[in-house]
Each structure stands twice: as C-alpha cells, then as structure tokens.
Structure 1
Amino acid sequence: MNISILGTGFMGRKHKAILEQISNVRINAEIDSHSEPNSDIHFQSLEYFLEEKLETDLVVVATPNYLHFQHTKILLENGYNVLIEKPFVFNLEQAYVLRETALQNDCRVFLVMQNRFSSVTLFLSELVESKKLGKIYNIQLNAFWNRGEQYYIKDSWKGKKNMDGGILYTQFSHLLDLLCCVFKDDFAVLFRDLTSFRNFNISEIEDTALLVLQGKTGTKVSVNFTTSVFEKNQETSLNIIAEKGTLKISGQYFNEITFQHIADCPEKFEIPSTSNEENLKEMYLEIFKSLRGEKNNAILLKDGLGLVDLLEKIYS
C-alpha cells in the first residue's frame, strides 16, 4: 500500500508512526508547507503533490480542522481515496458534498474513528445488541479533562470558532460517536449549555458542555464534558441504567467496569485493555482490506453522518 500524508504536524506524525508498524506499507509522500524542499517524498504544498500525479492508494488528511473539508474535496476531485482526521466536516451539507464528489470520482472516504475498534466499544456493542440489558432507560456520559493555555497557544487556529469547531468536534467527538454507533438511536437535544470558564483571552469556543438528549426509543442521556479541570485529566465515565441491569465503565483509559449488576450475568465482565495506537492500527488494517476488495469493517463517510447530525443539532 502506498500512503500519502497531508499535514505533518502532531496528528500527521502520529499516523506516520502507526503506518511504519504495518508491513507492506510505504509512505510515498509527506505534504506540508514545512516539508523539506527538493526531497523525493516531501512536498511543500498540495498543488505540488497533485502536479506529480503520484500513484497512491490513500491520502491521510491531518491538516488543521478548518482545512479538512477543502483538502478532502480537492483530493477526491483528483481521484484519490481519503482518510480524514476528526472533525471530518463541520456540518451535514459538507458531508453530502464529499459524498457526491466521492461518488462522481469513484473514490472512497474513510473516517478516523479508531475508538470504534476499542475493546470498550466492542464490548458495549455486543451487550446492547444481545438485549442483555433490556430497555435502556438512562445513559450518563462524563469526561472531565484538562486543556491548558499552552494547548491553544501552540497552534494559532485552535480555539477559533470557525477554524477549530469546538470541544464536541475535537476532544469529545469520540464519546458522542460512541452514543451513535453503540446505541444506534436518533437523539434529539432537550437541553444544552455551552460555557467557557477559562478561555485564557485566546479561545472563542466553550470549554464545558452540559447536554440532555432523548432518543426515539425514549432513552434519556445526560452529558457533562469539560476541559477546565485543574492541571490534569480527572475521569471519563459511562453509566447505563436499564431494564435488566446497571453498568458503569470508567478508569483512566475508560476500560474498567467499576459497577455491574445485570440479570443472568453473575460474573463480572472483564474488558481487555487496548491502546489508542492499537485501535488506530486496527482501523488501518480494515481500510486496507476495503481497498483490496476484501470483507472489512472500515468506517466510511456514511457511518459518521449520525454523529455530524447530532453535532449540528447541538450547535445550531
């Protein structure tokens, strides 16, 4: 597989490190304005890369958030399959444009939603699909994290409303995606409060979100996210209160069952720990299966539309 990486900042370097661990993968282009000139694989702009007409199986878009849609559309128009970092779009209109552009050019759009391959997500999906919990009454999702002043200073676009998107598009998008992909419900927004307690005179976006959602099944969801925690992350936790049981998952890596009482399940479940790097690697392996025409579980653009719809409802 020949892979090109557009954007060689923090996320681009992370993708490169994962790809270097996978056999039969060659990084044939790194595209960034800070790339070395006069190098065989380094291109200082997307335009220079496109002029070369390199044969590549996949382009990873890891540029700043506000450029994801624009760069992906250009790549699709030039016949490239694309993997987009989060947030892949800011609204459904952009998603539909990319879907149509991909269709017209016989290309595929994949999404970086590696947490769908995490042991927690797979465990919860099996638990919900098997109906062991019965009707789900209430879900509580908490994430109390820290993002200090340096986080916003190091990249000038971070914290800018039209360039960053907001904490639900970035830090907490994976947790909202968990609601969409595990519980497979269409959630309405009953209440929302988006607040900034610490903007450091830099950020234009919220650092705290309080939400109440309701699914068409009647399930109520309360969400409490913040990046204003003092100095270091505190917790990520999920509580499920259901007809046939109660479950809480928490822990530093969101992989520990800290409470379980489920009918016909006397023994406590154990969730094997998988790292973010392992989840990313699994994500790539599924994408490569898709590109080879094999049976796969790759995450395509259509699989992320529910999340975009929910985000649009929250921010509208």
Structure 2
Amino acid sequence: MHNFALIGSAGYIAPRHMKAIQSTGNNLVAALDHSDSMGVIDSFFPDADFFTEFERFDRHVDLLRRVNDGREVHYVSIASPNYLHDSHVRFALRSGADAICEKPLVLNPWNIDGLREVERDSGKKVNTILQLRLHPAIIELRDKVKSQSRVRKYEVDLTYITARGRWYLQSWKGDEKKSGGIATNIGIHFYDMLHFIFGRLCENVVHYCSPTKVSGYLEYENAHVRWFLSVDEHDIPLPSLSAGHRTYRSITVDGEEIEFSNGFTDLHTLSYEEIISGRGFGLEENRVAVETVSEIRNATPQGIKGEYHPFLKR
C-alpha cells in the first residue's frame, strides 16, 4: 500500500483522484485546499488529515517523512489551479515523493525544463494524467493511423463545447494568467490526443479567440485538423441543447464520427494503475501539447479565412 497526499482536494476533479487512490488499494493520508467544503472526502478517506493552509500541510508532510512510522507520503497528487502546478510538483519532489499532476502540467514549455532539473536532483518522478492516451477508441485509431500508408493526410474536425455559467469568468479559470485561457484549460488533453494519434505538429494557426471560445487549425504529420472549443452554451447545436445537454463533444476523421464519450470516468483509475506500475506519462510526453497551447495563447487570430472550423460561421 502506498500513501498519498492530495493538493486541490476540494476541486471538481479531486473525487476522481480519491476514487483512483481507493480503487488501486492505496491510502490518502493528507489533503490540502483553501476551501473547507470537503464533505466528499468522507466517502473515500475520512481519516485523512486535512489542511487549508499550505504551510501547515508542508510541515505535516515533512513530519510524516521524518517520523518514519510507515505513514510517509509516497505520491503527491496535484489537482490545484493550473498556474500552481509547477510549484506543487516541485514541492512533491523535494518532499521525497513522486508527483501525479493533472493537466496542464505547466503553462509554458520552459517550465518543463526546470522540472526536469528538480526531478534529476531529487531522484523522484513526475507523472501526469494524460488519460485519453489510455482510451480504447483513441488507441485503436492511433494503431490504425500507424498501420496505414497514405499519400493524403486525414481530415479531422474536433469540436468540444462544455457550457459554463457566469461564475466561470469570475474564477481563476477565467483569468488567462492563472488558467492559460480556454485552449489550455479545457483543450490541452485534446491537443495531446491529436499529437498522440497523428504525430509531429507542423503548423498552428488561430482563427478566433475570446474569453469564452477559441478556434483554429493544426496540421500534424498525418492530419489536417480544424478545431473549436467553447464554454458558451449558445454554441451547443440546437438538438443537443433542446435535449438538455450542456456538453457537446465530437471528433470526425474523414467524415466518420469517432465515439469516445464513454469510459471517461474510469480513466483516472487506469492512469493510477499505470503510474504505480512504473508506466506513467512523464515530462516529455507533455511537451508538444504545452508548446501547442502556448503558441495558441500568444498568436494573433487571423479571422475567418483559410481552413477554419465550420462552427465559426455561426
């Protein structure tokens, strides 16, 4: 049994980490969040120590390491706001624990280089949650792409709309300096997926960007990709919206829909199984996606011209 600590334990994604820790037969010994709305932890680890101040959490994790009574932390899971990931990964490594970090690992590519130095100095490992790489439908598509020899690249349309209320722009997620913007916050795992399936990134164009939506064109070694991301419910196609759906997810390859909506909730547990077995995704697996969103964030939108996503016409 391994001991875990969890940073960002009151957040949206934290219960998936708690479930993954529990389902893999491990124990959560300490949790940290500035919010004390932590009733969810009772369903998983009611005996875990909980802190709302990082300084007390830091002292506690250090004490567990020094006492050497079997409660020392082996893994620190990180589900805090995006801009804090870099700092919290460093804390994990310097505390003598491996890190398991939610995406995005960092906001800027050069932060990966800094983490590599800390990883080398500490002798510990940075693992990341890139769960789409473990999705059976995505693996099947990747294997198909790798097995086929084509003169023409695949034509791909990626659309992801997840409606958010007015709170979104008032939270850290609406602050580009903290979240990295829409492309980083809700899209980085899709960019990693595209790189994982279609290979090297060759071109990155942004057509439109606002606080609630962003769209552009990516060319990979084996695909042309038009993409559209949004948190605006008005972008959801009317049939889905009328049916009460607040999320719309679609990826088509050469006009054929790829179904990968099912199975999302268990991929964190599978990710933990892979990490504990020594097969986790490390720093370099994140580089292309982090570079992609960094370029998107700093690009000048070109407007509706060229290979733009059809949703932009709406």
TM-score when scaled to structure 2? 0.78
Q: Deviation of residue 103 (structure 1)?
A: 1.1
> Aligned AA for 1:208?
K
Choose which of 42, 53, 62 in structure 2 pairs with 1:45: 53
What corresponds to 1:264 in structure 2? none
CA distance in 2 between counterparts of 1:15 and 1:40 reads: 14
In the alignment, the residues of structure 2 paired with residue 303 and residue 157 of structure 1 have an alpha-carbon distance, to the nearest angstrom, of 26
**Cα deviations by residue, 1:197-233 (Å, 9 ceiling, x for unpaired):** xxxxxxxxx2111201223x37322112222123643
Judge conservation of contact 1:3–1:60 (CA < 8 Å) in 2.
yes
Instruction: Indicate conservation of the 8 Å contact 1:92/1:309, yes or no.
Output: yes
Quote the Cα distance in structure 1 between the aligned partners of 2:5 and 2:247: 36
Deviation at 1:136, TM superposition (A): 2.2
More helix by share: 2
Question: Matches of 1:307 and 1:75 in 2, distance apart?
Answer: 23
Pick from 127, 140, 147 the counterpart of residue 130 of structure 1.
147
Q: 2:209 aligns with which of 176, 187, 194?
A: 194
Structural mapping, 1:1-316, within 5 Å: 1-10=2-11, 11-23=13-25, 25-34=26-35, 41-52=49-60, 53=62, 54=64, 55-131=72-148, 135-153=152-170, 156-195=171-210, 206-215=211-220, 217=221, 219-230=223-234, 232-233=245-246, 235-241=248-254, 247-250=256-259, 254-255=260-261, 273-274=262-263, 276-290=264-278, 296=279, 298-316=280-298
Question: Does the CA contact (< 8 Å) of 1:127 and 1:133 recur in 2?
Answer: no
Task: Give the counterpart letter for 1:68 in structure 2.
Answer: H
Counterpart-to-counterpart distance in 2, 1:46 and 1:180: 36
Structure 2 CA distance, aligned partners of 1:51 and 1:229? 44
CA contact (8 A) 1:4 1:27 kept: yes
Q: Supply the distance in 2 between the matched residues of 1:17 and 1:304 (Cα, whole angstroms).
A: 24
Contact 1:90 1:308 in 2 (8 A): yes
Alignment partners' CA distance in 1, 2:59 and 2:270: 32
2:198, 2:223 within 8 Å by CA — same for their partners in 1?
no
> In structure 2, what is the Cα distance between the partners aligned to 1:237 and 1:134?
25
Q: Quick check: 1:187–1:310 contact (8 Å CA) kept in 2? A: no
* 1:88 match: secondary structure: coil
Cα distance change of structure 1 residues 145 and 43 upon mapping to structure 2, 3 Å threshold: closer
CA contact (8 A) 1:6 1:46 kept: no
Say how many residue pairs are matched: 269
Give the CA deviation at 1:107.
1.1
How far apart are residue 162 of structure 1 and its match? 0.9
Aligned residues: CA RMSD: 2.3
TM-aligned CA deviation for residue 49 of structure 1: 3.1
Identity %: 23
8 Å CA contact 2:181, 2:297 repeated in 1: no
Q: Which moved more, 1:172-181 or 1:184-193?
A: 184-193
Secondary structure of the corresponding residue to residue 192 of structure 1: strand
SS in structure 2 opposite 1:169?
helix
Structure 1 runs not aligned, ≥5 long? 196-205, 256-272, 291-295
List per-residue Cα deviations over 1:74-93 (Å, max 9, x = no partner): 32233321111122211011
Consecutive unaligned residues of structure 2, counting only runs of 5 or more, are 39-46, 65-71, 235-240, 299-314
Q: Residue type matched to 1:145 in 2?
A: T
Q: Is the 8 A contact 1:237 1:248 kept in 2?
A: yes
Query: Normalized against structure 1, the TM-score is what?
Result: 0.77
Contact kept? 2:131, 2:268, Cα under 8 Å: yes
